[in-house]
Amino acid sequence: MHLRLSILILFVLLSSLTLSGAQSWEAPSLDADAYYLFQPDALACLSQPCSGGFVQRVNHAMTPCVGGPPKQACPVASVDYSELSLSDTEYDQLLQAVEAGKVLFKGRIKPQITLDLNPMRDFVVSEAWIAASDEPATGTYYRVAADSSPCLFPPCPAYHEAQLNRTQEGYIDDVNFILADAPEYLLDQAMEALTQPDGLLVAGFHAIVHGLDGKQLVLMVSQFYLRLLSDACEPTGCSGQICAATNVLTNCEWKPAYACYQSAVCERQVDGQCGWTETPELLACLDQASQ
């Protein structure tokens, strides 16, 4: 939902806000996956060109560098994307976003085994999130998702937010994407992502908005990031009745409904998970098989 009120908006930088009733998250250890911005730079290795760059831990002034002192951005010799299991097309899409400086990675810094006196590091990516527009990401980085807890005393906040790489979290009344200047189809994907378990990664700041519904705490999003997931979904199971990204072992049995999946489409659904696309043909086949 977009607030399009021509009302004076009082911007309040509340990036460290934790509202009462919110629970704290544990701070990640230095060897755990965290969220980083990445800037490619062939000279990150100092002594020789490499395929790496610099990683910067978001929401922190300094980045812990394995084998060396903390820096604003930590040099890495290479980036390992293997955990993403991307297709060639998806990999090309990711590299284009990397070159454009439009990625937010979840991953970890790993030391290289080398005899060089200068310690080198690799960066292993476990999640890749791509920015929705060319607008600069300003403010604090959050994970935002629709609040599913029961509303006992209305009005209740609509969204839960948690700062990336920190323990602060809280609740907000609305999310406003107008500053991100993203195309409509990506805004639709963002609204869908807010309803999913992974939520949506955003950069932004808080504002107090006075409108018809009274005073609201709104997260003004300067940039948002959609997760890049592999589309490599394949039929699996003994009878090919399951759509998944990995091989699934099942009991070997046959049911009439399984024949419907032989011509069905196995692909990633809007929630990011692999599944059978519910076309009219598939639904009609399953209905007939159940009779």
How do residues 106-156 score in pLDDT, each as one tens digit?
Answer: 999 998 766 565 667 899 999 999 999 999 999 999 999 999 888 888 788
Cα gap 173→155, rounded to integer Å: 9
What pTM was computed for the model?
A: 0.71
Mean pLDDT of 23-27: 35
Count how many residues are written for the chain. Answer: 291
Of the pLDDT bands very low, low, confident and very high (cuts 50, 70, 90), residue 282 is very high
Q: What percent of the chain shows pLDDT beyond 70?
A: 85
Higher-confidence residue of 81 and 10: namely 81
The domain spans of the chain are 9-24+140-227, 34-131, 234-289
pLDDT, position 106: 97
**CA nearest neighbour of 67 among 126, 116, 127, 125:** 116
Q: Is 219 exposed, middle or buried (0-12, 13-18, 19+ CB in 10 A)?
A: buried
Mean pLDDT of 60-64: 95
Check pLDDT > 80 for residue 272. Answer: no
Give the count of beta carbons closer than 10 Å to the beta carbon of residue 32. Answer: 9
SS3 at position 89: helix
Query: What is the 3-state secondary structure of 23-62?
Result: CCCCCCCCCCCEEEEEEECCCCCCCCCCCCEEEEECCCCC
3-state helix, strand, coil in the chain (%, to 5): 15, 35, 50
Q: Are 245 and 267 in contact (CB under 8 A)?
A: no
